[in-house]
Amino acid sequence: MQRRSLICVFLLITYCLLNITTANAQVSDTSRPGLSVDPELMALADSKTPREYIIAGIKVSGIKYLDESLLISISGLTIGDKVIIPGGDNFSRAINNLWKQALFSDISIYFTKVVGTNIYLEINVSERPRLSNYYFRGVKKSDGDDLATKSGLVKGRIVTENMKRSTIEAIKKYYSEKGYQAVTTRIGETKDASQPNSEILTFNILKGPKVRINQINVFGTEAISELKIKKQMKGTHELSRLTLYPPENKSVYGTKNPYTFQQYINNWGFLSFTNTKEFLDPYIRFKLFSGAKFDPKKFDEDKEHILEYYNSRGYRDAAILADTQYYNNRGQLNVDLKVAEGHKYYFGNISWKGNTKYSDSLLSMLMGIRKGDVYNLDILNKKLGKQLTQEGGDISGLYMDDGYLFFRVDPVETAVYNDTIDFEIRMTEGPQATIKNVTISGNEKTKEYVIRRELRTIPGDKFSRAALIRSQRDIANLGFFNQEKINPQPVPNQEDGTVDINWGVEEKSADQLELSAGWGGGIGLTGTVGVTFNNFSIKNILHKSAWDPLPSGDGQKVSLRVQSNGKAYQSYNASFTEPWLGGKKNNSLTVSLYRSVFRTGGYNRGSNTYSFSDTNSLKNFGATVALGTRLKWPDDYFTLTYSINYTQYELNNYSLFTSNFRNGTSKNFSFKLALSRYSLDQPIYPTSGSSQLLSVQFTPPYSLINTSITENDSYKLPEFHKWRFTSEWYLPIGEKMGADKSRQFVLKASAKYGFMGKYNSKLDFSPFERFQLGDAGLTNNFGLLGYDIISQRGYPVYQNSDPKVNPDQQQASQFFTIFNKYTLELRYPFATSSASTIYGETFFEAANGWYDYTDYNPFRLRRSVGVGMRFFLPMFGLLGFDYGVGLDRIQNGSLRDATRFTFMLGFEPE
């Protein structure tokens, strides 16, 4: 009762003060210098009897940047309004309306004139100053640049208290994420003399010491060890330290407790690195973490990770009862967590309700959770499809792939007894949805039909999540669009049972340029110019209006390349690919042509140059025509490709194969069949899927048709049959990392085999189309003989089947007829944007080659390990570096002659 009386007295005093303020404002206004005293205005000021007036005029004073009519509108006062003076609340409401805009430091309303019952008003405001500039003091320039972006400060905006507070909060958050938990900021405000009503804000920042976590202690753990709990904390780590852990059956001077390095010194007072290394080796274990800074946001996330881990192990009721942070005497942070594990639960009976399309037994088999399995809500949700994945194989995917877009599923706990939980899976199947409209946006360069022919979401078809995911993958594999921005948006319409699908894409540069040049060596100008247009439009090549800067958008590929080594060597290559021959079916056509000239010559000491002549030359011409078609069986990831290859060599006093064949013409004519299966999710940095290839290349059996063909004739008409098999698999490993959860380790495993056969046992293997192994996949003899180039990092090009024989310089005129190669790569992406794709890798390789089947030993391989980096730039393609160690090149434990640095540009070698 006493409190209510006080409130009433307070409101009464406030009301009186408002009336006094209004009266004083009116009198003050009539007393301004240069204004005559209006008797009616003075009478209004002295009046204590409420009277009704009509607002006859309103003006605004004190504004410099704002619009007068806008402020009058915001105030809520309008000419013609009736007001009661004194006693009305119109003016207090007007002041409140204007004050809410946070634009003014002072607001007053004056009565300037009274004529009868008409009253004239003046709204006088003092605008807040505007921000002319701002500075961050006490921090590095790079930090200041980051804060300028994160604070949201914009020059020219009005300086408000909210602006200052939000900037201080942004500074605190920025440094908190860096481990500085005691940041203080003092704001300095200075009037800017160069601009009217403007201020300069200076944020003086004191970061304080960086807070590092000395130790994390977890209490209450029984079923799960403290070490496993700490492993779940991805963003909260202890300081790295060297710790002595006794092996299972040993102790450190009578104790099996772990000893830190410093504790060992303190307790025993000595440590001789010369005579105790053998003693310490079994005890030393490093605990290495990426950092020990404390980030409250990541700490909260880590607590959720801990509970998720407990839940995945069946501890549904696990909870973190308390977390405490405190500093030790060195200013380092200790973190204590107290957990309550609760009971471990198991799945009990699982029943289904609402399913009519599929039986209970089929759904239970697909879900794969049995009675007695450890309770794991995350696994249950994944199996039901409540967490959508591209892999499929879940209950929701089963329904949505058959058109049930409106399908819903909800697991409900029906009973909890002892350590068992029963579930009822309640389902709403809904009607099957039909695709109505399919739209495409964002394709500024690529023609719409190029995208639409890759889509499996066709108007009139039943909706299918698998078709949606496959379409997204096929569009990404075109290579024309930013794969992160390929965004299908289903828009369901439950009223008529249809769904519209809106595809959004973002174009990226798909063309590539290759440039290199040099001068010297007595040869002259050397270099390479190559261009590849991956989204070309050959039908518009004659239309001037289509050149912007080139005719593009039809999805065709054109490649041109010229290489020169002075007069000694020139080569010209051109190729064209139409991926949809005829435009109706996915049948590809590729035509390629190449021409090269080699000349031998001598060195002229007088002019310090080399001279080359056509009297000692090799000229070759080649052409390839390939036709590929996508198959529907066994599935539509398969492609069958037929190709015809022809190469002609003209030798003029030039020894290519043997000294017995220096002049004449050699013709290599072959056919090739290739069956491939490609299911990678993206072309540049695959994270899932596989690529398989089985091929056979063969020439006509000339020696069987004409039995008079001799060994020398085999150079003029080479004959062979060559078989290849390649299998590559990509598997994501571990959890996704990074701020956007888009980075993940990927394991690549591949196996490659090849062997060459001959039709006639009396003749040697063909000198053409053999297998060259070693180095970075670069060819000898400029690829004249059509070798398959098989790289092996850590080794030079080799020609001996003995893994221990690896000279750096080998003059090999012939290479292997059989090879095996196995590769394991662990990749991690650093950037996967449309501007660039960058990833690092570690690798293990094993490979070798043989000349004859009698020497073939698949277990006798050259082994190598190493690390590498890959950079994919839109205009220049692949740039790669590898540092490999040939394990079979190590001699006497020394790596001196066993390492090899390799570089690649433009393509990934086999």
pLDDT in tens, 440-488: 999 999 999 999 999 999 999 999 998 999 999 999 889 889 888 898 9
Question: What would the DSSP string read from start to end of 445-469?
Answer: SS-HHHHHTT----TTSBP-HHHHH
Q: Rounded to 5, what percent of the chain is helix, strand, coil?
A: 20, 40, 40
Q: What is the pLDDT of residues 192-212, one digit of tens each?
A: 888 888 899 999 999 888 888
pLDDT at res. 46:
66
Which tokens hold the place of 377?
């809500």
Give the tokens for residue 747: 């394991």
Q: Is the pLDDT of residue 697 over 90?
A: yes
Confidence at residue 780, expressed as pLDDT on a 0 to 100 scale: 52
Would the pLDDT of 731 be above 90? yes
pLDDT number for residue 248:
40
pLDDT reported for residue 337: 93
Residue 214 — very low, low, confident or very high, per pLDDT cuts 50/70/90?
confident
Residue 618 has pLDDT above 50, yes or no: yes
Question: Average pLDDT, stretch 699-703?
Answer: 91
Q: Tokens for 802?
A: 């003995």
According to the model, what pLDDT value does residue 359 have?
Answer: 93
How confident is the model at residue 866, as a pLDDT?
Answer: 95
Q: Where are the alpha helices (DSSP H) in 735-801?
A: none
Q: Do the beta carbons of residue 353 and residue 426 sit within 8 Å?
A: yes
Cβ neighbors of 507 (< 8 A, separation 6 or more) are 442, 443, 444, 445, 446, 480, 481, 482
Model pLDDT, residue 558? 93
Percent with pLDDT over 90 in the chain: 38
What's the pLDDT tens digit per position in 782-841? 456 678 889 999 998 898 899 988 887 665 557 899 999 999 999 999 888 777 889 999
The confidence score (pLDDT) of residue 355 equals 92
Cα distances (Å, whole numbers) of residue 160 to 103, 432, 661: 8, 56, 91
| Interatomic CA distance for residues 88 and 315, integer angstroms | 65
Q: Does pLDDT of 656 surpass 90?
A: no
Mean pLDDT rounded to a whole number for the chain: 82
Higher pLDDT, 783 or 56: 56
Q: Which residues in 364-392 are b (16+ Cβ under 10 Å) and which e?
A: eeebebeeeeebbbebbebbbbbeeeeee
Which pLDDT score is estimated for 816? 92
For residue 457, what pLDDT is reported?
A: 92
Q: Of how many residues is the chain composed?
A: 910
pTM beyond 0.85, yes or no: no
Residue range 849-856: mean pLDDT, rounded: 91
Task: Give residue 574's Cα distance to chain centre.
Answer: 34
Looking at the predicted structure, is the pLDDT value of residue 26 above 60?
no
Say what the pLDDT of residue 193 is.
Answer: 86
Average pLDDT over residues 357-365: 93
Cα–Cα distances in Å, from 693 out to 131, 678, 682, 726? 65, 9, 18, 5
pLDDT for 272: 35
Which range of 286-290, 490-494, 660-664 scores highest in mean pLDDT? It is: 490-494
Higher pLDDT, 283 or 632: 632
- Tens of pLDDT, residues 519-536: 655 566 778 888 889 899
Q: With bands split at pLDDT 50, 70 and 90, how would you rate the model's confidence at 597?
A: confident
pLDDT at 741: 58
Angle between helix 161-176 and helix 141-151 axes, rounded to 10 deg: 130
Burial of 767 per CB tally in 10 Å (0-12, 13-18, 19+): buried
Query: Which tokens sit at 200?
Result: 């300069």
Residue 18: pLDDT band with limits 50, 70, 90 = very low
Residue whose token pair is 């003989």: 785
> Which span out of 267-271, 311-315, 715-719, 745-749 was modeled with the highest average pLDDT?
745-749
Closest to 52 in 3D by CA, of 30, 80, 19? 80
- Name the band, by pLDDT with cuts 50, 70 and 90, for residue 330: confident
How high is the pLDDT of residue 45?
65
Reading the block at residue 271, the tokens are 């440590």
Compute the average pLDDT of residues 240-269.
43
Amino acid 266 reads N
Q: Dig out the tokens for 353 from the structure.
A: 């309700």
DSSP state string for 804-858: T---S----SS-BSEEEEEEEEEEEEEEESSS-EEEEEEEEEEEEEESSGGG--T
Residue 16: pLDDT above 50? no
- Using the predicted structure, report yes or no on whether residue 591 has a pLDDT greater than 90: yes
Over range 267-274, report the average pLDDT: 38
How high is the pLDDT of residue 290? Answer: 46
Residue 1's pLDDT is what?
A: 41
| Whether pLDDT at 22 is above 90 | no
3-state DSSP assignment of residue 308: helix
Q: What is the pLDDT of residues 391-403, one digit of tens each?
A: 567 899 899 999 9
CA distance 410 to 780: 64
> Looking at residue 270, what is its pLDDT?
37
Q: Does position 513 have pLDDT exceeding 50, yes or no?
A: yes
pLDDT at 524: 64
Edge-to-edge strands, sheet with 184-191 = 130-137, 198-206, 184-191
Helices 90-99 and 68-75: angle between axes, nearest 10 degrees: 120
Tokens 């404002």, located at residue: 25
Q: How far is CA 284 from the centre of its chain?
A: 38
pLDDT at 605: 66
Tell me the per-residue pLDDT of 99-114, one tens digit each, with 9 for 90 and over: 888 788 788 888 888 8
Instruction: Report the alpha-carbon distance of residue 547 to residue 537 in Å, rounded.
Output: 10
Model confidence at 642, in pLDDT bands (50, 70, 90)? very high
pLDDT at position 357, please? 92
What pLDDT is stored for residue 424 in this prediction?
Answer: 95
Confidence of residue 742 (pLDDT cuts 50, 70, 90): low
Q: What is the pLDDT of residue 410?
A: 93
Are the beta carbons of 8 and 91 closer than 8 angstroms? no
